[in-house]
Structure 1
Amino acid sequence: MRRELWFGFTLMALIVAGTGWMVLSVDTLTNGHYGLIMLALVVVAIMLGFPTAFTLMGMGIIFTFFAYHSGGQSAAGAVRQTLDLMVQRAFSVMSNDVLISIPLFVFMGYLVERANLIEKLFKSLHLSLARVPGSLAVATLFTCAVFATATGIVGAVVTLMGLLALPQMLKAGYDVRVSAGAITAGGCLGILIPPSVLLIVYGATAGVSVVQLYAGAFFPGLMLAGLYVLYVIVLARLRPHTMPPLTPEQRQVPLPAYAQQLARTWSQVAVPALLRALKGRRNATVPTRWMLQQLGVALLPALVFALVAAWTWHLDTRAAVQAAAPALGMQSLEDDSAASTETDGGLAEPPGAQDDADDGGLRPPPGSDEAADADRAVNQGEIAAPARPNPAGEASAARNPASTGWWVGFGVGVAAMVAFYAVLTWARLEVFKMLLGSFFPLMVLILAVLGSIVFGLATPTEAAGVGAFGGFLLAVAYRQFNWGVLKESVFLTAKTTAMVCWLFVGSAIFSAAFALLGGQELVEQWVMSLNLSKTEFLILSQVIIFILGWPLEWTEIIVIFMPIFIPLLDNFGVDPLFFGLLVALNLQTAFLSPPVAMSAFYLKGVAPPHVTLNQIFAGMLPFMGIQIVAIVLLYLFPDIGLWLPKVLYG
């Protein structure tokens, strides 16, 4: 028998033994104890392979009937109340508007996956990072992070990277365990990095804003990806035999014929060669249009830098304009106040009325002959021109000088631009063009979706609709869209969405039964009797979730156990948003921890035959340790996750 089966049966035996000890250790079983028995039976049934959603519904219905019937209700009345509760809980789940974003985000992910961008992105990244230790593994993690942000589908990312990156890493002499660990860990980043379906499910379960969860998960997701990359680079330095550097042949970038000709004639550095070729007369065989196109692509970073510098300069120096307007306003108010105190009472005369009275009548209307004569007299200096008010004040054109920080940043940026163009050879220009063709479209889609959510321009559902349309446009633009792609994407979206929705219905019925039996009160009493501090409670809860990640998937943990943990947070002063970020980091272990470890099975399904499941599990263990480090860092420095929500919504 396989080890994972022994592990599963041992864990189930411990659950049954613990439940039996609880039943035998009390003199009288209350309804709360029956609720805990129901919880243990659900976990064992799921581990045995029963469908999660229908197991939750079945157990919930049975124990709901028991709860009503044990309270003195007749059997017919208990049945009626049970059915009423089922309908009410199912309707409350289906009327949750936030859940509409799940099928839209999933549909976006499947369309982006079929746009075939991941192959181009991985190739361009591993060429651009060729001199970094462990470049293939680093490129794999970068690709997974970007693609996870655009899709959020763990299985798709792991499967595609297993087909694309694993053969190249094995061919380059990479250790099997390191290769498998990088692919499985990188693929699981979609659980945490928005647009994460997990965060939507947690928000709907815990009653936390999905918008704030997305904002809060942004920096922890980047932190975790950065820790993965740091670990790979350090390991490649300490043990170079596990990740040999790329050979010159593997770093070779094919150049167009025109680029080779300009490199031989003028320079290996792209921009000077293009400028000299455009100015000189020795480029008759190279079309001018082609050179202008290459120069435009090469100068894009300089254009972006110039726009960013101008925008930051405007923000840094506009304080004078904002400060001048209130001062001028106060001065005008003081003048008006002084003028009004000089009157004997009643309403003050409108501006200009006193001048008109002194002149002996109304001023001529604009455009009349009298007005033209008056203007000529003013221009010739015969009459002093009346003072015209300046609405913006004298300081409207004045700006503060740029701060020292801006000049330092500008200098660093200029130095970076100079260094960039000094090393921008024709080969690097080709890599840059590959990045533009693969990375830029994904970044536009990511910014359109996540930016509109985080900055409050759209709700998650609206942004998901935009993302689904953006995925459709990408598939069309890269000529990957056809009836088969649409049909398969719709089918997979419906399959995934149906699973999540049935899980929500089953969880709602199960939670109602657990509450009716008093299981939540019993758990709360037990936890409070331990006299735990806030730190001890968080450690206990995260350890429980970490252990549950071995036999259960994240969906089951969220819908079954979060309704038990959430009511306890107020007792310890824990922010549900912060708790959700800790849980999201922790629940990645559901995809990285044996024996369930779904990402390992995804990778095994596409890996070469000689790659064993034990090797994949061994490769995932160091990344599980990194996840624990990330959880500790987030707890010690909660502003990693809470700073952005506070700035945007606090």
Structure 2
Amino acid sequence: MDMILPLSMFLAVGLVLLSGYPVAFCLGGVALLFAIGGLATGLVSVNDLTFLPGRLFGIINNTTLIAVPLFVFMGVMLEKSRVAEKLLASMGLLFGRLPGGLGFSIILVGALLAASTGIVGATVVTMGLLTLPTMLRRGYQPSLATGLICATGTLGQIIPPSIALVLLGDVLSTAYQEAQLRQGAWALETVSVGDLFVGALIPGLVLVVLYLIYMAAVSLLRPEQVPALERDDGDGNDRTGLMAALSGLIPPLLLILAVLGSILAGLATPTEAAGVGAFGTLILAAANRHLNFTILRETVHGTARLTAMVFMIMIGASLFTMVFRAFGGEEAVQHLFDALPGGVLGATVMVMLIIFLLGFILDFIEITFVVVPIVGPILLGMGLDPIWLGVMIALNLQTSFLTPPFGIALFYLRGVAPPEVLTTHIYRGVVPFVFIQIIMLGILALFPQLATWLPHLLYG
């Protein structure tokens, strides 16, 4: 009986989501209906819900979350400043004459854009428009080309600065404090967004290396699927290509240095660094002569829309988790984890499997604000390192952009792909990269120092 009502809440949300209604209102509406029913039947009391106003005010008043609109603004403005186009053109000149050279270029440019913007949609659409027609024209296999673009576009979820890490950092910090309070701690430690940024840096780079290894393997084993460009496909000689590559690389590298460098050096918080990055993108746009009132208005409008969506989902998810806890859902989950074989290992594997499966039907924001607040305090109370757990969840959530039928990166690319590219090509193309991400999860599980060494070195 303890599990019936909490499980019914999840089933009800799933059914309402099928209607196509916005996720934020599905979560909040179902929670309100269950809360009213619980109050009417006496299953929950008013005292169980009295903390809701304070929690909602805390969301809006959270200075850490100011980084969300700033990073969104940074990503949208960087897309409009045409930095990505210059990067792709210059890297294509350097690597295009190698078998698989365009693939290597896309991976490296995607990693640089991830460290500059963290916006998956902007990266996938930009690279889809600029590189997919060229790759198809030069003989690249459609499934490989589309899978490579989608997977590389999702690097912005794990390579900082990442909006996913900002949101996860806020949720995990609260969960970590709850876990310590349950254990009777007086002086509470916290896990900050900066900790997750630093912790995700090495795993993100390792994932880029795995993508490059896969591309190298395809180039060696199936070179006909990734042909090199001819000499006349490029512009100029090697020296010209090198100079063009440097001119395209320097602006985003300076931006990365300003944002990530200030965080790593302890000179700025992630929120302050986001402000620096937003201002830096304005300078880049002006330098590229792509800063005017129309572009600024479109950037601000897009930033406001995405930020409003994030905060509405946060509010709806907070209401959902509070009602879920009022029905005893968290205690039921705790009992379930205690009954699993393998202790903390079994519980961690179960949570990662649930997050992976939910990624087929839910966005990373809903999973972050619905699932993590419930399971986070329990797992952290079992002794898991919060930075390692946060990076593991971020890597797992990255797969939600690639897993059909609702992988958002697939939809972004489908919207800009040429007609001859079939949806089945895109679905088949992302499968190897989903497996690579799962392999990366396994590597991080076996070697947690990849996520914990650098934060402990820099911050103790």
Q: Aligning the two structures, in what range does the TM-score lie when normalised by the shorter sequence?
A: over 0.9
Q: Secondary structure of the equivalent of 2:418?
A: coil
34, 47, 51: which one aligns with 2:5: 34
Distance 1:607 1:643, change over 3 A: same
Query: Counterpart of 1:253 in structure 2: which amino acid?
Result: D
Distance in 2 of aligned mates of 1:575 and 1:49? 37
State the secondary structure of the residue aligned to 1:249. helix
What residue identity is the alignment partner of 2:22? P
In 1, distance between residues paired with 2:18 and 2:152? 26
State the 1:72 CA deviation: 7.8
SS in 1 for 2:371: helix
Q: How many residues align?
A: 443
Matching residue's letter, 2:53: V
Is 1:193–1:221's contact at 8 Å kept on the other side of the alignment? yes
For residues 537-552 of structure 1, the aligned pairs below 5 Å read 537-552=347-362
How many Å apart are 1:95 and its aligned residue? 1.5
Structure 2 match to 1:253: 235
Contact 2:362 2:400 in 1 (8 A): yes
Q: 2:329 corresponds to which letter in structure 1?
A: G
CA–CA distance in structure 2, aligned partners of residues 48 and 553 of structure 1: 16
- Within 2, Cα distance between the matches of 1:455 and 1:503? 33
Unaligned regions of 5+ residues in structure 2, if any? 174-190
The Cα of 1:131 is off from its aligned counterpart by 4.5
Q: Deviations over 1:505-539 (max 9, x none)?
A: 11111111111111110111121022433322222
- Please state if 1:588 is matched with 2:398: yes
Query: Quick one: which amino acid aligns to residue 198 of structure 1?
Result: A
Give matches, 1:164-313, under 5 Å: 164-207=130-173, 208-250=191-233, 252-254=234-236
Instruction: Report SS of the residue matched to 1:512.
Output: helix
- Counterpart mapping for 1:249-648 below 5 A: 249-250=232-233, 252-254=234-236, 427-648=237-458
Paired residues of 1:569 and 1:575 also in contact (CA < 8 A): no
Whichever residue aligns with residue 235 of structure 2, its letter is V
Name the amino acid aligned to 1:444: L
Contact kept in structure 2, 1:161 and 1:183, CA below 8 Å: yes
* Residues 1:43 and 2:14 aligned together: yes
The separation in 2 between residues aligned to 1:43 and 1:578, in whole angstroms, is 30
User: Is residue 52–residue 322 contact of structure 2 (8 Å, CA) maintained in 1?
Assistant: no
Asked whether the equivalents of residues 100 and 216 of structure 2 are also in contact (C-alpha less than 8 Å), the reply is yes
Measure the CA separation in 2 of the matches of 1:199 and 1:553.
14
Give the Cα separation in 2 of the matches to 1:214 and 1:72.
42
CA displacement, residues 460-506 of structure 1 (integer Å, 9 cap, x when unaligned): 11111111100000000110001110000000000000001111111
Q: Which runs of 5+ in 1 are unaligned?
A: 1-28, 255-426
State how far apart, in whole Å, the 2-side matches of 1:89 and 1:506 are. Answer: 11
2:36 matches 1:65: yes
Name the aligned partner's letter for residue 274 of structure 2: A
CA distance in 1 between partners of 2:133 and 2:216 (Å): 20
Distance 1:40 1:439, change over 3 A: same
> Match for residue 186 of structure 2?
none
Q: Which residue of 1 aligns with 2:26?
A: 55
Contact 1:33 1:519 in 2 (8 A): no
Aligned to 1:118: 84
Residues 244-284 of structure 1 deviation map (CA, whole Å, 9 limit, x = unaligned): 1221222x433xxxxxxxxxxxxxxxxxxxxxxxxxxxxxx
For the residues of structure 1 that align with 2:256 and 2:312, how far apart are their CA atoms?
29
Deviation (angstroms), 1:88? 2.4
* Deviation for aligned residue 1:85: 4.5
Does the CA-based 8 Å contact 1:34-1:517 persist in structure 2? yes
Percent of aligned positions that are identical: 41
Mean Cα displacement is larger for which, 584-593 or 86-95?
86-95
After TM superposition, give the deviation of residue 81 of structure 1 in Å: 7.9
CA-to-partner distance for each residue in 1:122-174, whole Å, 9 max, x for gaps? Answer: 11112112344300011011111111211111011100101101011011110
Residue 54 of structure 2 aligns with which residue? 88
Larger radius of gyration: 1
Contact 1:103–1:497, Cα closer than 8 Å, also in 2: yes
1:592 counterpart letter in structure 2: L
The runs of at least 4 aligned residues of structure 1 exceeding 4 Å deviation read: none
- The code of the aligned residue for 1:533 comes to G
Q: Normalising to structure 2: TM-score of the pair?
A: 0.93
Residue type of the partner of 1:616?
A: I
Distance 2:450 2:245 in 1: 29
Q: Are the aligned partners of 2:159 and 2:201 in contact in 1 as well (CA < 8 Å)?
A: yes
2:110 corresponds, among 104, 126, 144, to 144
Q: Which residue of 1 aligns with 2:99?
A: 133
Measure the CA separation in 2 of the matches of 1:448 and 1:434.
Answer: 22
Q: In 2, Cα distance between the equivalents of 1:604 and 1:72?
A: 47
CA distance in 2, matches of 1:639, 1:71: 48
2:69 matched residue in structure 1: 103
Residues in 1 aligned to 2:459 and 2:48: alpha-carbon distance in whole angstroms: 42
Q: Report how far residue 46 of structure 1 moved.
A: 2.2
Aligned counterparts of 1:81 and 1:233: Cα–Cα separation in 2: 56
Q: Deviations over 1:296-321 (max 9, x none)?
A: xxxxxxxxxxxxxxxxxxxxxxxxxx
Quote the offset at 1:50 in angstroms: 2.0
Residues of 2 paired with 1:621 and 1:537: CA distance? 26
Native 8 Å contact 1:102 1:197 kept in 2: yes
Q: Alpha-carbon deviation of 1:429?
A: 2.5
CA RMSD of aligned residues (A): 1.7
Q: 1:112 corresponds to which letter in structure 2?
A: L
1:159 counterpart = 2:125: yes
**How many Å apart are 1:34 and its aligned residue?**
1.1
Deviation at 1:545, TM superposition (A): 1.0
